[in-house]
Structure 1
Amino acid sequence: MAGLYFEEFTVGQTFAHEVRRTVTDMDNMMFSSLTFNPAALHIDHAYAAGTEFGRPLMNSIFTLGLVIGLSVQDTTFGTTVANLGMTDTTFPKPVFAGDTIHSRTTVLELRPSKSRPGQGIVTFEHVGLNQDDEIVCRTVRNALMLARPQ
C-alpha cells in the first residue's frame, strides 16, 4: 500500500511530490464540460483573447483537484476513508494550458477520531506550483485516515 496510515504521519512532515503534470487545453475543455461550467473564460479562446489574460484560464477547480491528486501516491493512496473538507483555498497565480504543475504537502495537525475507532483526522496543507515554482494553488484539507490494522 503506497498510502500512509494515520500514525505514520507527523506534524510538520513535508512531501515534495515527484509526479508532475503538464495541463492541456483538452483538460480544461473536458473538465469544464463534465462539470457543466460554461464560463467563457475557460472554454472560449476568442472571448479569452479579449481579457487581461489573453487566453483561457484553466478551471480553478481542476487545478485544485490536480494539486491534491498529485499528492495521493505519497500520502493517502488506499488509506483515506473520506475527505472531510477543504478551507483556506486560494489561487494566487493563474494556470494556463502548457503549464506544468507540481505539488508539495505538509502535515499541519493530527488527531484520533473520537467517533470512529481505528481512524484519525489528518490536516494537510497542499501547495501547487507551476514550472517557475510560483504558487498557483493552496488549500488546507482534512482527511479521515485509516489507522494501522491491529
Structure 2
Amino acid sequence: MAGLYFEQFHVGQIFDHAIRRTVTEADNVFFTALTHNPAALHLDEEYCREHTEFGQRLVNSAFTLGLIVGISVGDTTLGTTVANLGWDEVRFPAPVFHGDTLRVQSEVVSLRESRSRPSQGIVVFEHRGYNQRGTLVATCKRSALMLKTP
C-alpha cells in the first residue's frame, strides 16, 4: 500500500508531495463544462480581458481543490482510506491561471480513533497548494476515515 494506516500518522507530520501538475486550458474548460458551470470567468477570455481585474480566465476553483487533494492521495491515503468524510475551511487566497504549476504540501492536524468503528480512525489533513512562484493558491482541511493496521 502506498497509503499509511491510522497508527502511522502523527500530529504535525508534513508531506511535501513529489507530484507537481501544470494546469492546462483543457483541464479548466473540460472541468467547467462537465460540471455545468457557465461562469464567463472560466470560459470567456474576451470577457475576462475586458471586465475583470485579472485580464484572463481563472481556473475553476473546484478543479483546483480536487487537484490539490488528489496529488496528496498517493503519499497519504491510497489503499488505506475507508471514506472521505468532508472538506472544511476551503480557501483560495490567490487565483490559478492556465499554465500555473501546482505543488502540494499536506500536514496532519488531528487524529482520533473512531467511536463507532474500532478498526478505523479519523485523520484530519490540511492541504496547501502553491503555484510555481511559491504563492499559496488553495487550502483545505480534509477529514479521512482511515483503516488501522490489520
- Asked if 1:52 is matched to 2:53, the reply is yes
Paired AA for residue 48 in structure 1: C
Match of 1:106 in 2: 107
Instruction: State the SS of the aligned residue for 2:111.
Output: strand
Equivalent runs, 1:55-74 vs 2, <5 Å? 55-74=56-75
Aligned to 1:21: 21
CA displacement 1:37-72 (0-9 Å, x = unmatched): 111100111111121111100000100010111101
How far the C-alpha of 1:82 sits from its partner, in A, is: 0.8
Paired residue for 1:31? 31
Q: TM-score, normalised by structure 2?
A: 0.98
Mapping of 1:1-150 within 5 angstroms?
Answer: 1-50=1-50, 51-149=52-150
Unmatched 5+ residue regions in structure 1?
none
* Equivalent-residue separation in structure 2 for 1:67 and 1:133 (angstroms): 14
C-alpha root-mean-square deviation of aligned residues, in Å? 0.6
Give the fraction of aligned pairs with identical amino acids, expressed as a percent.
60
Q: Secondary structure at the match of 1:70?
A: helix
Tell me, in whole angstroms, the C-alpha distance in 1 between the residues paired with 2:32 and 2:111: 35
Q: TM-score, normalised by structure 1?
A: 0.98
Deviation, structure 1 residue 80: 1.1
Number of corresponding residues: 149
Q: Structure 1 residue 25: deviation in Å?
A: 0.6
Unmatched 5+ stretches in structure 2: none
SS at match of 1:31: helix
Question: Could you tell me how far apart the structure 1 residues matched to 2:147 and 2:7 are?
Answer: 9
Cα distance in 1, alignment partners of residues 48 and 82 from structure 2: 40
Once the 2 structures are TM-superposed, how far is the Cα of residue 123 of structure 1 from its aligned partner?
Answer: 0.5
User: What is the identity, as a one-letter code, of the residue corresponding to 1:137?
Assistant: A
In the TM superposition, structure 1's runs of 4+ consecutive aligned residues that sit over 3 Å from their partners are: none
